[in-house]
Amino acid sequence: MRTKATWSNWAGTQTCEPESVIKAVSVEHVSEIVSDATSRGVTVRPVGSGHSFAPLVPTDGVVLDISAISGIVDIDKEAAQVRVNAGTRISAMGETLWNAGLTLKNQGAIDQQTIAGAISTSTHGSGLHLTALSGSVIGAELITASGELERIGPDDARLPALRASMGMLGVLVSVDLQLEPAFKLKESLTFRPFADVLQHWDEGNRTHRHFSFVRGPQYDMSAILPSLPEGMDDPTLVRTYDAVSVDAEDDPTPTARVDRPYRIYPDVYTTPWDEVEYFVPYDVALDAITASLPILERFPDHFPLEARTIARDDSWLSPMFGRDSVALDFCRTFGADNQDFFHEVDLAMSEFDARPHWGKQPYFLGTDVLQVRYPKWDDFVDLRRKLDPAGTFLNAPLRALFA
């Protein structure tokens, strides 16, 4: 199906008027679309659910919607592995995997992304000993710029580059994931003084499967929040989640739920916003948090600061490449002029070798900065040029960085 239309992301923060928006209905269809575009010198940008703030999709060429290429292909219960089509939404995976006695190792607070989109942008949850979703990828199939289907297996030297490639190496059509045997999560949501949270930061991260905090105004979540304590100095919401037996009894108690992970993780977000998220090394995270506080005071908003820890991985363009990291998430009211705020955050975080979340960046930093912050940057560019010499998968913002 081919339509002439304006494309926009989920929040309306990124739009474009492409040559066409095509909803692929099969792997063969993807191959035909890409091959035709390459022969005509037209850009192709894949999209799943469009749940990104960054200018990854906008193009005057072809917007290739892969959301119909969905569904779980195969589950290997013994090896705890799954092959899933790239357009499958994360929200559609949990129950099927659970019924097979398996679950994702980790996931983020939003489950509406397609698995390919979440992987390609290093979408993450939390946990000092848990990688982002891309760290679970052990293989994939993609359509290259020539239209050929290529299989990248677990021993392929290109796999670490593919895991966080933002659709620049080809169109993912399926991915293989390493899972875990099913378990349940026990939730704890409490308010604690901010100074106390920072004092026990390392202890919290090392003793809980998931440990994070939200400082500032509270927002709607899938769980009911605890009552704000009277008289507490700088109350900060602390969220911990710990694995319990798969046989543990479910508990719907607000702020202390016990349930399947895919039911516990997702939050509910109903309105668009602007957002930037930076990943700093774990050992300087408290200094980076402290550096952000004066900026938050100068630019008040009703969104809070969120801090989550993620384990290191080997994905070349992952913000967590080679180092345990802390993601500092700065959200802003959509429609306001937030550029001054984002600029100040960028300057403050640059002192801590911060790397951006590719799916949340409202603008891109320059190549000169990113080459330094991402040790495998040049290796990725070399591989991209080899797989896609004509730049079929580069829109204007990506071309400025990766051509």
Alpha carbons 197 and 192: distance in angstroms, whole number: 7
Phi and psi torsions of 231, nearest 5°: 80, 0
Alpha carbons 296 and 344: distance in angstroms, whole number: 10
Domain presence at residue 380: no
Domain presence at residue 279: yes
Where residue 251 falls among pLDDT bands split at 50, 70, 90? very high
State the pLDDT at residue 4: 59
State the pLDDT at residue 221: 53
Phi and psi torsions of 312, nearest 5°: -65, 155
State the pLDDT at residue 337: 86
Domain presence at residue 9: no
Q: Kindly report, residue by residue over 112-134, the tens digit of the pLDDT.
A: 899 999 999 989 999 999 999 99
Closest CA to 34 of 62, 67, 69, 58: 62
Say if CB 383 and CB 158 are below 8 A apart: yes
Domain end: 181, 204, 230, which one?
181
Domain presence at residue 270: yes
Q: Kindly report, residue by residue over 117-176, the tens digit of the pLDDT.
A: 999 998 999 999 999 999 999 999 999 999 999 999 999 999 999 999 999 999 999 999
Q: Indicate if 352 and 204 belong to the same structural domain.
A: yes
- Which residue range forms the structural domain that includes residue 176? 72-181
Q: Indicate if 256 and 314 belong to the same structural domain.
A: yes
Q: Indicate if 265 and 241 belong to the same structural domain.
A: yes
Where residue 229 falls among pLDDT bands split at 50, 70, 90? confident
Alpha carbons 110 and 316: distance in angstroms, whole number: 24
Task: Quote the number of domains for the chain.
Answer: 2
Q: Whole-angstrom distance between the N-terminal and C-terminal Cα of the chain?
A: 30
Alpha carbons 175 and 138: distance in angstroms, whole number: 8
Q: Indicate if 231 and 346 belong to the same structural domain.
A: yes
Domain presence at residue 228: yes
Q: Indicate if 225 and 359 belong to the same structural domain.
A: yes
Q: Indicate if 324 and 223 belong to the same structural domain.
A: yes
Q: Indicate if 256 and 333 belong to the same structural domain.
A: yes
State the pLDDT at residue 150: 97
Residues sharing a CB contact under 8 Å with residue 160, sequence separation 6 or more, in sequence order: 314, 315, 316, 376
Domain presence at residue 151: yes
According to the per-residue pLDDT averaged within each range, which of 86-100, 101-115, 363-377 is highest? 86-100
Domain end: 136, 166, 181, which one?
181
Return the structure tokens found at 401.
């960085």
Q: Indicate if 79 and 198 belong to the same structural domain.
A: no
Q: Kindly report, residue by residue over 3-44, the tens digit of the pLDDT.
A: 558 899 887 888 999 999 999 999 999 999 999 999 999 999
CATH code of 241's domain: 3.30.70.2520
Q: Indicate if 196 and 289 belong to the same structural domain.
A: yes
Where residue 2 falls among pLDDT bands split at 50, 70, 90? low
Q: Indicate if 163 and 190 belong to the same structural domain.
A: no
- pTM, 2 dp: 0.92
User: Does pLDDT of 234 surpass 70?
Assistant: yes
Domain end: 148, 181, 214, which one?
181
Q: Indicate if 206 and 349 belong to the same structural domain.
A: yes
Q: Which residues pair with 22 in a beta bridge?
A: 2, 64
CA 155 to chain centre: 24
Domain presence at residue 395: no
User: Does pLDDT of 219 surpass 80?
Assistant: no
Domain presence at residue 148: yes
CATH code of 154's domain: 3.30.465.10
Which single residue is written with the structure tokens 């942008």? 121
Q: Kindly report, residue by residue over 308-358, the tens digit of the pLDDT.
A: 999 999 999 999 999 999 999 998 888 778 889 999 999 999 999 999 999
Mean per-residue pLDDT for 95-112?
93
Q: Indicate if 175 and 189 belong to the same structural domain.
A: no
